Structure 1
Amino acid sequence: MGKVLNKDVKQGNTLVGTVSIDSFFKRKSNITIPDYQRPYVWDKEKIDQLFSDLRSHFFTDYIFQGNTDSYYLGTVLLYKKNDEYQIIDGQQRITTLVLMLKAFGDNGYSHDIFNLNYKSNISHKNIKKNYDYLVSYEGIIKNFFDDILKKLVFTVIITPSEDEAFTFFDSQNNRGVSLSAIDFLKSYHLRELKYSEDLQAVFARKWDSNNKGKFLEYLFDHYLWRNRNWKGKWLEYESKTAILNTFQKNSKKSKVKKVKLYPNAFNTLASNLVFDEQKGVNLQTNSLWLNTKEKDYPFTLRQPIQKGVGFFLYAEKYTALYNHLFLEKADSEFIKFYDTVYININNYLKGFFKLCSISFYDQFKGEKLYDFALYLDYFLGSIRLGQKAIVAQTIIKILRDQSQNLLDVIDMSYEPQEVFDFLISITDHNLYKNNTNENFKGVRGNYYNSVRWYYKKETETMLNKKDWINDRLIRK
């Protein structure tokens, strides 16, 4: 693997050595990027920071210091699979250096290094932007790049075991550069699919597509983890460790290409029992649906998570469900209410409204979703009007300080009306009695006016808000 500056150290079947970047790129080894790797995400700011670090290390008053010690670029982790070396950790740095070589002149280096295969559109976009920037770059780093390259080193770890490679990867990132929980989850569950590179590629591409704008981080943090863990009276906000414990450490082993289904209302043989005086009891079976849409996969929010395929399908379901509710705007009455009253409300209340709506849809699909939105707002509105400030801890108190946790009530209810009755029972109706427009300014005033505008009651107070809800639902 090229010239090793320091003596190689062999630990079992694992090879560890310190390698110059110059010799690394002159090697004849076949280095590849696995399909499941996260996209290349470096931007101009990252490159400028690297240039700044190199200038500080190698230059004094813009004069190159040839006797300066080598500059350490960290660890590159490779998994040796047959005749190729797959990059497990180090893709961002290696890709950036390859772009520099190409932009600044690649004489003397194997052209194979410019044939790394990137499947993600995000990678393609960032590679083009960075390459264009480097081509236009004029500065001392470019002028002395060949000399600098000979002084850049990193530690290379080569292992013939993919599991061992990811063990190194996890420990490296736990100590050093922090990857998000989403990055860890993707890598962990793709490793469970090592029996099929085709499956790895399919789920990696779908994951990256769903994760545009770091959406999956938002989904797992704000909705999936909270719904699964905000139970009873013990409540706290998520952390990276907590998310990994829920979706990685506590996930269940599954059979190859099979996902265990757990009983729920939409994963049963029959939907009704019919009694006939002559024939006795008959079961009214559910329809069988082929090519089920992602949002209708027969999973539930709080079910056990299965490794590999099960995890990725679970993530796909709730990505599709979120999109269905809030982006595709399939339920016109529900989304009209949300867009009118909640789209510009306090972020904590808005997030909680969405969390509860996802939970309700998961339990009852589209049945009475609009009704739920109005009753949920009847409860949340009393809190909004009763408090000048809504903070993160307010949401914890909403769930903890009631007779029952609302998310638990939704999860355990057989009928939507059970949820509606609970919401009415925990609402402080007195907060709607003495309220006039003069009482509410700022964000509370905005909410107050939005609700009255929605119900076309701009000249009234909210004293009769419960009646407004009933009238709206009767007319629906």
Structure 2
Amino acid sequence: MEQLLLDWYEHFFSTEEKYKEDAPFYYMGAVLFYKNKTKFDVIDGQQRITTLLLIDQFINDSNSYLNQNKWDLNYNSLLSSANIKINYSYLRRSESLVKIKDFISSIFEKLIFTIIITNSEDDAFTFFDSQNNRGVSLGAVDFLKSYHLRELKDKIDIQTKFVKQWDSNNANQFLDELFSQTLWRSRNWKGKNIQFENKDLILKNFQKDTYKEDNNDQLKLYSNVNNRFASSLIYDAKKGILMQLNPLSMQLSPALYPFALRQPIQKGIGFFLYAEKYYSLYELLFDKKEVPEVIEVLNTLVQSFNSYFKSFFKLAVVIYYDKFKEEKVFEFALWLDFLLGSLRVNQATIVAQTPVKILRDSNQNFFDVIELAYRPEEIFEFIRKLNINGSNINYFYGKEVKDYGAENGVRNQYRKDNLVFYKNQNLEIEQELTNKKRWIYERLKK
């Protein structure tokens, strides 16, 4: 329950702790019902429904849905009853609820569910199992694969090659992570209206929103760091990529395919080559570790971040590398850590919405700044001047050691990791991170 309340606060309130009337809808997931004659059995979603009703009852009391008989719930488990009492008691001391309680009605109006109703109990539990047994239910990448293979129905040799490569890349369902946390976010986390991905949004972006040319074998190209002078390429199942260079041609490795993250995607061959390019680029950066400067920062400073910040760090590196390759990539990694670290030391808790606030609540979306920059220095300057809650991010590094919380806590661990990483300093004298900006400049001089 506490995590949900924290997520709502991050999602619906600005950095100045004001409720945002224009906050996007908040997706609560799917709720599965079995229609049993005149009543509905909740197969999946009981905890979410109960949590919302408890919050409503606690805040609205006699005007709550339960007291107005708008909901009539029966629980068949004594354990459920015990948990309800525990959670209701928790609400009495929840600081998170205090922050949002005056706006709870507005928040409820912006909650979105997917409602599924079956007329067969067997069907309900079969559906539930398929949703919770990974590999049984078709995910977005399975639909994408099938959709774009249909565009190649007359090209069996190309189909065979793409299927083999796709399945190899998708070991342990890695493509699910690539499309959701890297490709979809890099294309859609722009401007101020930012939301999290779901299956429908992924399918819309990489299926419905792709396009088809009259000659779909020849792919239109867009200018980027891998392409300064070609307008199209042709894919050959035996020869691979041939880029038309009026009249020269050259063969490329997947990580160098001349695509850009936010470019339009062409159906069929264009989609598969796009996916292969960014699979290979991600592998190059984080699995093969061919850019050691990034790995050095990732394995030292970023190691104490939680999964939300680690994913954000990797996503930002992919966007930057796709634009500038290895040009000043170490400097970018250091300033990116400077940005994320300022929030790490300032907040006791980092939740899923925290990285989103970095993009949404600054004057410019950080990812847009990377995409639109002509020189890396424009990005570094943006980070150094970035304000959060009205204060420059350098301000948050001014904490004393006693302000970092528990000795073995995550904030103290991050402080210690910094002291080790920037070990050219007099560590027996400097134990705070007050001079971190200067440390970065000194490290770069080396």
- Normalising by structure 2, report the TM-score: 0.61
Look up the match of 2:75: none
- State the alpha-carbon separation in 2 of the partners of residues 289 and 361 from structure 1: 25
The structural deviation recorded for 1:329 is 1.1
Is 1:200 the equivalent of 2:200? no
Change (3 A) 1:317 1:437: farther
Deviates more, 1:424-433 or 1:378-387: 424-433
1:315 aligns with 2:249: no
In the aligned structure 2, how far is the partner of 1:248 from the partner of 1:425? 39
Q: Which runs of 5+ in 1 are unaligned?
A: 1-172, 271-284
Contact 1:437 1:445 in 2 (8 A): no
User: What does residue 468 of structure 1 align with?
Assistant: 439
Which of residues 181, 191, 195 in structure 2 aligns to 1:232? Answer: 191
What letter corresponds to residue 327 of structure 1 in structure 2? D
Q: State the AA in 1 paired with 2:289.
A: K
Alignment of 1:83-232 (within 5 A): 178-232=137-191
Secondary structure at 1:343 match in 2: helix
Output one character per residue of 1:315-348: Cα deviation in whole Å (capped at 9) or x when no partner.
Answer: 1110111111111111222211211122342110
1:430 equivalent in alignment to 2:395: yes
Aligned letter for 2:268?
A: G
* Shift in Å, 1:437: 5.8
Alignment partner, residue 414 of structure 2? 447
Deviation at 1:289, TM superposition (A): 7.4
Q: Report Cα offsets for 1:449-474 as digits up to 9, x if no partner.
A: 11211111444211110111001111
Q: Name the stretch that deviates more: 344-353 or 306-315.
A: 344-353
Equivalent position to 2:252, from 292, 302, 305: 292
Deviation at 1:229, TM superposition (A): 0.4
**RMSD of the TM alignment (CA)?**
2.0
Match of 2:410, SS state, is helix
SS of alignment partner, residue 353 of structure 1: helix
Structure 2 equivalent of residue 418 of structure 1: 378
Question: What is the aligned partner in structure 2 of residue 81 from structure 1?
Answer: none
Task: Return the offset for 1:444.
Answer: 1.2
Q: Residue 380 in 1 paired to residue 340 in 2?
A: yes
Number of aligned residue pairs: give it: 285
TM-score by length of 1: 0.58
Secondary structure in 1 matching 2:378:
helix
Once the two structures are superposed, residues 31-81 of structure 1 have per-residue CA deviations (whole angstroms, 9 ceiling, x without a partner) of xxxxxxxxxxxxxxxxxxxxxxxxxxxxxxxxxxxxxxxxxxxxxxxxxxx
Q: Percent identity, aligned pairs only? A: 49
Q: Matched residues in 1 for 2:294 and 2:249: separation?
A: 26
Q: CA deviation at 1:421?
A: 0.4
Aligned match of 2:224 = 264
Structure 1 outlier segments of 4+, above 3 Å: none
For 1:463, what is the secondary structure of its paired residue? coil
Shift of 1:434: 2.3
Residues 215/405 of structure 1: CA separation in 2 closer, same or farther (3 Å cut): same
CA distance in 2 between partners of 1:376 and 1:472 (Å): 15
Partner of 2:262: 302
- Give the Å deviation of 1:290: 2.4
Distance in structure 1 (CA, Å) of the matches to 2:362 and 2:210: 31
| SS of residue matched to 2:218 | coil
CA distance in 1, matches of 2:156, 2:402: 62
C-alpha distance in structure 1 between counterparts of 2:171 and 2:303, whole Å: 21
SS of the residue corresponding to residue 343 of structure 2 reads helix
Distance in 2, Cα, partners of 1:316 & 1:308: 12
Q: Secondary structure at the match of 1:385?
A: helix
Paired residues of 2:226 and 2:257 also in contact (CA < 8 A):
no
Q: Please list the CA deviations of residues 80-137 of structure 1 after superposition, one character each: whole Å capped at 9, or x if unmatched.
A: xxxxxxxxxxxxxxxxxxxxxxxxxxxxxxxxxxxxxxxxxxxxxxxxxxxxxxxxxx
Match of 2:297 among 314, 334, 337: 337
Mapped to 2, the partners of 1:391 and 1:268 lie a distance apart of 40
Amino acid at match of 2:434: L
| 8 Å contact kept, 2:404–2:411 | no
How far apart in 2 are the matches of 1:333 and 1:263? 27
Q: Please tell me the residue identity of whatever aligns with 1:431.
A: F
2:157 alignment partner AA = D
Report which of the two structures shows the higher radius of gyration computed on alpha carbons.
Answer: 1
In the alignment, structure 2 segments of 5+ residues that lack a partner are 1-130, 231-244, 387-391
Q: Name the structure 2 match of 1:253.
A: 212
Counterpart in the other structure of 1:363: 323
Per-residue deviation at 1:264? 2.3
